């Protein structure tokens, strides 16, 4: 992500992005998101004649926040979560400038991000996950025979079996699986956000799917590559499978499985966490498995579980059913 470096504003924004990349070790995707948000902020400032950080005031920041909450004619209406993310990027920028003495004051305090609506993650049922995996291994006409189908099954089993982010799975190399495949007691090493490492168990279904892919599927696709790659999952040309291609494959499998809900690789991560908590796993353990920095992020899944328990109670408890029938008679 590049910025206009011909003025002080562009140079200082670039310095902050470099800090995020080098000092904080943010991932490429996170850096890209910060870059887009800060480019928008920089463009807004320049449109009002501000090209130097020292010329920004609290009133300037309040006006920018207002412009996000109340866009002008023809401008898209932003979701509260998007506004919160954009303002968080601006707050971080101004804190950095204050620490580095680019500005004499930390203007971040003038920005109050909106309280984003807490959306419950959408998890698939166990039956839907099983149907999805089965559909990943077969197109509409033929059984599991092709290399690509073996790759799709390995992809789906890894996503659901480890709860990993799709970026973590497509980044895996063949060598990364050696320890987990040779010894079932060893975990799979994943590199998460901020280059943080964690070990997650690799279940028998995921292990079997990966072994089948490595033995019966990957060699054929690897032979199509212009140059050799260490990547675990490959596309039809023998190159590393991309996030977008993985998304398309999961979505296609969901359609074949007849799943009406929108399904993505992240749906399997949500399902992994929800099913673990439904099964009695401690939220702290799930936090470690997911690689969340804070347990607060993981606790949103407990809300899903509470809803599930309430539904089970309504269906299964005699007095709950009696109460429903009583209300029906009253109505």
Cβ atoms of 289 and 190 closer than 8 Å: no
Indicate if 317 belongs to the active site.
Answer: no
Indicate if 207 belongs to the active site.
Answer: no
Indicate if 122 belongs to the active site.
Answer: no
Print the SS3 string covering the chain. Answer: CCCCCCCHHHHHHHHHHHHHHHCCCCCHHHHHHHHHHHHHHHHHHHHCCCCCHHHCCHHHHHHHHHHHHCCCCCCCCCCHHHHHHHHHHHHHHHHHHHHCCCCCCCHHHHCCCCCCCCCCCCCCCHHHHHHHHHHHCCCCCCCCCCHHHHHHHHHHHHHHHHCCCHHHHHCCEHHHHHHHHHCCCCCEEEECHHHCEEEECCCHHHHHHHHHHHHHHHHHHHCCCCCCCCECCECCCCCECCHHHHHHHHHHHHHHCCCCCCCCHHHHHHHHHHHHHHCCCCHHHHHHHHCCCCHHHHHHHHHHHHHHHHHHHHHHCHHHHHHHHHHHHHC
Indicate if 193 belongs to the active site.
Answer: yes
Exactly one of 94, 131, 165, 207 is catalytic; name it: 165
Exactly one of 36, 95, 193, 256 is catalytic; name it: 193
- With b for 16 or more beta-carbon neighbours within 10 A and e for fewer, the 220-255 pattern comes to ebbeeeeeeeebbbbbeebbbbeeebbeebbbbbbe
Indicate if 165 belongs to the active site.
Answer: yes
**Which residue in 164, 211, 223, 153 sits closest to 184, CA to CA?**
211
Exactly one of 21, 189, 243, 266 is catalytic; name it: 266
Cβ atoms of 13 and 36 closer than 8 Å: no
Indicate if 266 belongs to the active site.
Answer: yes
**What tokens does 254 get?**
């969901």
Exactly one of 34, 160, 272, 301 is catalytic; name it: 301
Exactly one of 94, 207, 270, 292 is catalytic; name it: 292
Cβ atoms of 11 and 4 closer than 8 Å: no
Exactly one of 94, 207, 249, 269 is catalytic; name it: 269
> What residues are annotated to the active site?
165, 193, 266, 269, 292, 301
């Amino acid at each position: 992500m590049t910025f206009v470096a011909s003025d002080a504003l562009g140079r200082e924004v670039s310095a902050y992005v470099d800090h995020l990349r080098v000092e904080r070790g943010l991932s490429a995707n996170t850096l890209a998101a910060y870059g887009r948000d800060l480019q928008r902020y920089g463009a807004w400032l320049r449109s009002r004649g501000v090209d130097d950080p020292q010329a920004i005031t609290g009133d300037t920041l309040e006006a920018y926040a207002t412009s996000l909450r109340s866009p002008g004619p023809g401008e898209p209406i932003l979701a509260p979560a998007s506004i919160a993310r954009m303002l968080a990027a601006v707050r971080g920028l101004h804190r950095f400038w204050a620490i580095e003495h680019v500005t004499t004051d930390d203007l971040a305090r003038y920005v109050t991000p909106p309280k984003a609506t807490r959306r419950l993650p959408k998890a698939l049922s166990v039956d839907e996950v099983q149907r999805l995996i089965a559909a990943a291994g077969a197109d509409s006409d033929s059984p599991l025979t092709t290399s690509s189908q073996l790759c799709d099954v390995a992809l789906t089993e890894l996503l659901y079996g480890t709860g990993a982010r799709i970026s973590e799975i497509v980044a895996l190399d063949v060598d990364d699986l050696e320890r987990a495949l040779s010894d079932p007691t060893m975990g799979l090493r994943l590199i998460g956000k901020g280059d943080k490492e964690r070990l997650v168990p690799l279940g028998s279904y995921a292990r079997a799917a990966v072994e089948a892919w490595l033995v019966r599927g990957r060699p054929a696709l690897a032979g199509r590559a212009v140059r050799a790659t260490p990547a675990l999952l490959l596309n039809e040309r023998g190159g590393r499978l991309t996030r977008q291609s993985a998304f398309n494959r999961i979505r296609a499998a969901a359609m074949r499985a007849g799943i009406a809900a929108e399904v993505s690789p992240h749906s399997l991560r949500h399902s992994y966490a929800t099913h673990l908590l439904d099964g009695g796993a401690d939220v702290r353990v799930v936090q470690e498995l997911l690689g969340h920095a804070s347990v607060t992020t993981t606790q949103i899944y407990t809300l899903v579980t509470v809803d599930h328990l309430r539904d089970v109670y309504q269906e299964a408890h005699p007095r709950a059913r009696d109460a429903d029938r009583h209300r029906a008679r009253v109505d």
